[in-house]
A and B are shown apart, each in its own frame.
Chain A
Amino acid sequence: MEGVHRAGSAEAPASERTGPLDLGPWPDKLTARVVTPGPRPAIHGYDVEGDLARHYSFAETVLLSLTGELPTPGQGRAFEIVLQFAAPAPINEAPTHAAALARICSGTTSAIQGTAAVALAEQARCLVADHAAWLEALGAGVVRVAPEYRAASDEERASVGRLRAALEGFLDVPELAHDVSRAAALLATFWACGLKRARHIECALVFAKLPVALAEALATPARSFRAYPLLLPGIEYVDGDA
């Protein structure tokens, strides 16, 4: 309080003068909107240990956390299925590649996880941004597949067919009946599971891939510098100022 009384005093050392941050009408508490803190935590009001853990799967709890709504059994099972379809994070994609490099550099498990999470989040951000018009169409309920969201190969069509078959009996995703790309199919399924916001779909993509990316990175030997293909991909130096 002494600093407040000295505000504006020419004699007061700079460190004791009251600054703009001292004067703001700040709240004195953090605001929680999802998790009730304390010894008996709840998510959106549902007791975690006595209710959710006994009656809902982890995937269903993730859906509840993001949307605030309990999913139907079909949505919950469909979410598990689409998470599994989205899970593969091969080492030739940047997130797992980067996480493996963190492991090679003897990064802590924390550093490896942080690397993977950041890169997966960036990958998800780009994928969702590239599908902004597709998400808009899903929101409008109009199944019209623009050329950029169509399957580009028979392999993709087969994958979408396997997703449709796996979801059968759990959740109807009408978009999957069209000639959609694998990515568009995954996003449509997330949408049908209740994730109607781009940012929530980004999160789901990261949840899906993170364990797999980490598993691949942690399986890489630490300090295996000489076993790493340093020249892949080729990077050519161009001399001179830009």
Chain B
Amino acid sequence: MIKTRVARQVPGDNLYFGHSTLTDLLGRETLTGLMAMAAMGRQPSEAERVVLDAIAVASTSADPRIWPLKLTRLVASYGGTLAGFGAGQLAMEGKSIGPWTVGAAAEELASLRDLLGEHFDDADAVQAAVRQRVERRPRMAGYGVPFRERDERMEALRKQVSDLGRDRLPFWTLQEALSVGMKEKWGAAPNMAIGGSAVLLDLGCTPRQAAALAAFLNQNVFAANAFEAAQQRSPLMQRLPDACVDYVGPAPRTTPRAAAVNKP
């Protein structure tokens, strides 16, 4: 028997993680909260919902030229909104690009937290652990900003976190210390993934929950591109002119079987 905490259809209602959708959630819960429940299994508080919305809004980087969003639009270009939307998700469950990288960044913070143990609140211990962590790690999940000096989304999230009074929570504090260390040692600026991961760990997420929730909160960027591209059905998206392709493979050649047949 497979167990689920997600849902059960009951007479006249649907339960969702233990809550009646029609009497407990309707009129009170938001889409953000429902998405948070999907990954965390519990209903977020009002304050938590606000900071989750901050992550979602700050992460809205929906330029259709960005790789996974271009992918989304290519598939949607034949008119299928959900085909594009679904395809856009497939390459995202990794450590290279997109909101799922929050999980890898969260692993860094969680392992640093484990390393500190009971010295988690000791500033000197934190500094020492950070120094040790960054010593041989020029590349670390959550650090490095392509094409620009700093990640404006991270900067904006930092301000929001501060405004919401969440900047003294343990993982945010640890993230800030690690970010200083990475900047000083390698010149690597923090990106949205490390900020998002700190917020989500402070909500009680595991790294895997953080990855999934960050992805769930970023669905609008795929939805917007999939919908627009499906409406456009652009012939140019469906097929670029052959002149747009540079072939670098082997030169024209003949198979041995064809050569044998054609032998004079």
Interface residues of A (CB under 8 A from B): 19-21, 23-24, 27-38, 42, 44-47, 50-52, 54-56, 68, 70, 108, 110-111, 114, 118, 233-242
User: Which of B111-119, B188-196, B225-233, B256-264 lies at the interface?
Assistant: B256-264
- Between A and B, 23 residue pairs with Cβ closer than 8 Å are A20-B146, A21-B63, A21-B65, A21-B147, A23-B147, A31-B245, A31-B246, A31-B248, A32-B246, A33-B249, A34-B249, A36-B252, A45-B250, A46-B254, A55-B261, A70-B255, A110-B83, A114-B86, A234-B2, A236-B3, A237-B8, A241-B17, A241-B41
Which residues of A lie under 8 Å from residue B2 when comparing CB positions?
233-236
Report yes or no: B147 in contact with A46, Cβ–Cβ below 8 A: no
A238 contacts which of B5, B40, B244, B258 (Cβ < 8 Å)? B5
B94 contacts the other chain (CB 8 A): no
With both chains docked as a complex, state the minimum distance between the C-beta of A99 and any C-beta of chain B, in angstroms.
Answer: 14
Assess the B42–A241 pair: CB atoms within 8 A. Answer: yes
User: Which chain B residues (145-175) contact chain A, with CB distance < 8 Å?
Assistant: 146-148
Q: A30-B245, A114-B87 are in contact. List 9 more A-B contacts (CB 8 A).
A: A21-B66, A27-B246, A50-B258, A108-B80, A114-B83, A235-B1, A238-B5, A239-B15, A242-B5
A235, B7: Cα distance in complex, Å: 10
Query: Which residues B36-72 have CB closer than 8 A to chain A?
Result: 40-43, 63, 65-66
One of B240, B253, B261 near A30 (C-beta < 8 A): B240
Chain A residue with minimal CB distance to B2? A235
Q: Is B31 an interface residue (CB 8 A)?
A: no
B254–A20 contact, CB under 8 A? no
Enumerate chain A residues within 8 angstroms of B15, measured Cβ to Cβ: 237, 239
Q: What number of A-B contacts does a CB cutoff of 8 Å give?
A: 113
Complex interface: chain A residues within 8 A of B41 (CB) = 241-242
Across the interface, name the chain A residue whose C-beta is closest to B258.
A51
Which one of A24, A33, A56, A110 lies within 8 Å of B147 (CB-CB)? A24
Contacts A36-B249, A45-B249 known; A234 to B147 CB distance under 8 Å? no
Contact residues on B (Cβ < 8 Å of other chain), bracket: 35 or more
- Report how far A50 CA is from B4 CA in the complex, Å: 57
Q: Which residues from chain B contact A51 at a C-beta distance below 8 Å?
A: 254-255, 258
Minimum CB distance partner of B65 in chain A? A21
- B251 — nearest CB in chain A belongs to which residue? A45
Kindly state whether residue B138 has any CB partner on chain A within 8 Å.
no
Q: How far is the CB of A142 from chain B (nearest CB, A)?
A: 31
Give chain A nearest CB distance to B167 CB in angstroms: 27
In the complex, the 3 A-B pairs of residues with the closest C-beta atoms, listed nearest first? A242-B41, A45-B250, A20-B147
Q: How far is the CB of A113 from chain B (nearest CB, A)?
A: 10
Q: Which residue of B lies closest to A46 (CB)?
A: B255
Could you say which residues of chain B place their CB within 8 Å of the CB of A118? 90
Nearest A residue to B242 via CB reads A37
Taking a contact as CB atoms under 8 Å apart, the answer to whether A242 and B42 are in contact is yes
Selected from B1, B8, B245, B253, the residue in CB contact (under 8 A) with A45 is: B253
| Contact between chains at B4 and A238 (CB < 8 Å) | yes
- The closest CB in chain A to the CB of B80 belongs to A110
B residues within 8 A CB of A241? 5, 17-18, 41-43
Complex Cα distance, B2 from A234, in Å, reads 6
Contacts of A47 in B (CB 8 A): 252, 254
Which residue of chain B has its CB nearest to the CB of A45? B250
Q: In this complex, what residue of A is CB-closest to B39? A: A242
Residues of B within 8 A of A110 (CB): 80, 83
Tell me, in angstroms, the Cα distance from A23 to B149 when the chains sit together: 14
Interfacial chain B residues near A238, Cβ < 8 Å:
3-5
- From A37, A46, A55, A236, contact of B4 by CB (8 A): A236
